[in-house]
Amino acid sequence: MPFHTANVWIHRRKDKIMIQKLIQKIQKTHAPIVVGLDPMLSYVPAHIQKRAFEEHGETLEGAAEAIWQFNKGIIDATYDLIPAVKPQVAMYEQFGVEGMKAFKKTCDYAKSKGLVIIGDIKRGDIGSTSEAYAIGHVGTVKIGEHIYSPFTEDFVTVNPYLGSDGVKPFLKVCKENNKGAFILVKTSNPSSGEFQDREIDGKPLYEIVAEKVAEWGEEVMGEDYSYVGAVVGATYPEMGAALRKIMPKNYILVPGYGAQGGKGKDLAPFFNEDGLGAIVNSSRGIICAYQKDPYKEKFSPVDYADASRQAVLDMKEDLKNAFVK
């Protein structure tokens, strides 16, 4: 929906810095949880697929409609329990333009429910290319006399492999629009150590990246935390403490909970003494709960969203272990 340029700047001045909004929603829900909306077609219950394919055929449009309806059900069942969702853009790109329409619908609908949107895009390039990625996902683009916000996420994930040239355009756009970015520091996948653990001048590479994140973060501070956060996997809690010390003012997005092995008791090092500083992602553990123990015995595929809600409640309870001294 177009809106006049003058209104954009008025709106921006009134906007709350997004990191503050995220923190307030975490405090309100007592849940440092983000639900990863990473739908594969195989995750979508048969009755949703059937309805989508009857309407649109077994086409890319039909697949996109199925994942959108699947997402909508999960959002409806969980939005009052959580502060944020994190759609992974690749899961939508696989269905082409129709999939990206589903991505946009998902972001807009989640926002209408009051959720913070973390776009898991893991983009990273240089100069104008990186800025274009940032504008598309967390910025605005002017067309004639109108300004549009293409995808409306509140945060994005950024790959720092190209260095400051690839990161600073994101920071510029985030600062202009009161948005934020999570920079990949130590990821949760098994082979992350092939590069990230390599030592340079006596330090592992992930610590060097963390130092840069802390440096970049000082340039775009909110009240207590920076617009710039870090991605550090739950599967490496022993590294969490060291990285927390390096990045005391940077929020940490923690993937790898649940399906990848991370548990609440392992996550204490990621949080600060104030109980803040981290938000924990679960994707398959929540959106596929109806397919897994112990939920599949209690919830049918028709009740998949109820299973997801129960998985969030169980995760919320488990995360209390992160604060048990």
Active centre residues (catalytic): 122
What is the total residue count of the chain?
A: 325
CA end-to-end span of the chain, whole Å?
50
Amino acid occupying residue 113 = K
- Can you tell me the distance from the alpha carbon of 39 to that of 99, in angstroms, rounded to the nearest whole number? 11
Tokens of 200: 């340079």
Phi and psi at 31, nearest 5°, equal -145, 95
Vertex 314: Cα angle to 308 and 316 (nearest 5)? 105
- Can you tell me the distance from the alpha carbon of 134 to that of 149, in angstroms, rounded to the nearest whole number? 11
- Can you tell me the distance from the alpha carbon of 62 to that of 56, in angstroms, rounded to the nearest whole number? 5
Tokens of 154: 């509140």
- The residue among 212, 204, 205, 203 whose CA lies nearest residue 230 is 212
Supply the DSSP string of 235-303, one letter for each residue.
Answer: T-HHHHHHHHHH-TTS-EEE--BSTTSB-GGG-GGGS-TTS-SEEEEESHHHHTGGGSTTGGGT--GGG
Amino acid occupying residue 51 = R
- The residue among 100, 31, 110, 34 whose CA lies nearest residue 73 is 110
For tokens 């802390």, what's the residue? 214
Tokens of 207: 């610590």
